[in-house]
Structure 1
């Protein structure tokens, strides 16, 4: 491996991030929601129901701001609140059935295309690709946490 290859991988990952951000801005605009609203929906899609505090931490929002965000998304039919199953002090926020049905066709097509691309990665390389992407995600998470301090 030459010294250029890691730089090229990092640059390619950055380009993917920029293009994904551009695609996400288009999705948010198409759905009539803000980028932060879309971020919330993506966290709920990826991780399932979250408390408002967990959602606020992931979005770097104050408790008041996350309450307003969840109110807005609930009023628009994107999410619903339900009691926490084991701790009645908390409420969980989850995607509504309507939100799942309202997935824009172009976003569903993008997800299908990503799955098709992933299917083409040779089985022998999948662990390495997954490991690289997980490490990159952890680096981004750590950087975000360090910036909030």
Structure 2
């Protein structure tokens, strides 16, 4: 019995290993002094200092500039509606008009569906749908 290995899988494994070896690993950003066993432990910081709210870094002038910019952005229109030849805007307007027309008039097909639903569901099932299933009461 002969055992033959095809060169393609070996070549792929060799390439993957070579690429992994070429990886650009970052250097450790820790000084050698931190690894020294004689380095003292850091000082403890009181919990009040850690839980204290940080001081505001935004000055009043910066806040005023941000508020002014916000007001300017809110006052500008979202789209330029001056272009009357915009086919997309015309389509949107037509669809909105159609939506308003449909929402004003009640649909006759909706009433027919409701009426047919009332006729097709038996009273016992309708009661179960409306009131839910009640758990059985234990007999005494």
Which has the bigger relative contact order, CA under 8 A and spacing at least 6? 1
Band the TM-score falls in, shorter-chain normalisation? under 0.3
Which structure is higher in helix share?
1
Which structure shows the bigger proportion of residues in strand conformation?
Answer: 1
Which one has the largest radius of gyration? 2
